[in-house]
Amino acid sequence: MRTVVEAPNGALVALEADPAGAEDARLAAEAGLVLVREVLQLRCNLPLERPSTCRTRPFRAGADEAEFLRVNNLAFRWHPDQSDWTADDLARRLAEPWFDADGFLLLDDEDDGDDEDHDEGILAFCWTKVHPPAGTDPALGEIFVIGVDPTAHGRGLGTEMVRAGLDHLAAQGLTVGMLHVEADNQPALRMYERLGFSRHSSHQWWARPGSPVPAAGRG
């Protein structure tokens, strides 16, 4: 899909392409446009070689909303689509026909003490989404959103949470994992490459220099 915006004189002022190719880049560059956002689609084969070591549990509607929003908004505070989510933003996704609480995995921040009722909140989440076959694509098991509380980054939790999501998807018979990631999100890209993901396609937005970063409208 290629969407173009032209000025009244016919000059190209914005271009969006998914999947983007060399011809899109050529057209945009000729018009003096710059790449303002690139989101990569990565895929991997399922199941992975080894399962997750994380003890996750499913999202509980009516109980986990506030903790999810806290961690999501901290982890994604820089993100064009995923930042500043409100309770309404979350409620809308929870009401989607594809929503499955068993595929929305949370990692509790467990207290090491004796108090079993002690609730420390959550450290991380991995929300999955299943896409039925479409066109030439097989059924896809998506890592829809993955986030770790920034105070716990770099401890291996992100990697194990993605594994947990992929384990859940593979257990449903899915053989292809998929996700979207900003092309400049280096920590996430490194994590996904280590897990065996590779680039499938690229969604690009080109605009005049200084233009705001556009929303992707995904999910």
* Dist. CA 210–CA 34, nearest whole Å: 9
* Residue 46 near residue 162 (C-beta atoms within 8 A): no
Residue 173 touches ligand COA, criterion: CB under 6 A: no
Return d(Cα 29, Cα 207) in angstroms, integer: 10
Q: CA 122: distance to chain centroid? A: 18
In whole angstroms, the minimum distance from the beta carbon of 96 to ligand COA comes to 19
What is the token pair recorded at 129? 């989404």
**Contact positions with ligand COA (CB under 6 A) in 188-207:** 188, 190-191, 194
Instruction: Count the helices and strands in the chain (H runs, E runs).
Output: 5, 9
198 - beta bridge partners?
Answer: 43
Residues 73-132 that bind ligand COA (CB under 6 A): 75-76
Shortest CB 154 distance to ligand COA, Å: 4
Question: Per-residue x/- marks for ligand COA, 147-166, CB under 6 A?
Answer: xx----xxxxxxx-------
Residue sitting closest to ligand COA (CB): 158
Nearer CB in complex with ligand COA: 136/186: 186
Shortest Å distance, C-beta 158 to ligand COA? 2
Hey, is 171 helix, strand or coil? helix
- Point out which residues bind ligand COA (CB under 6 A): 75-76, 146-148, 153-159, 179, 181, 185-188, 190-191, 194
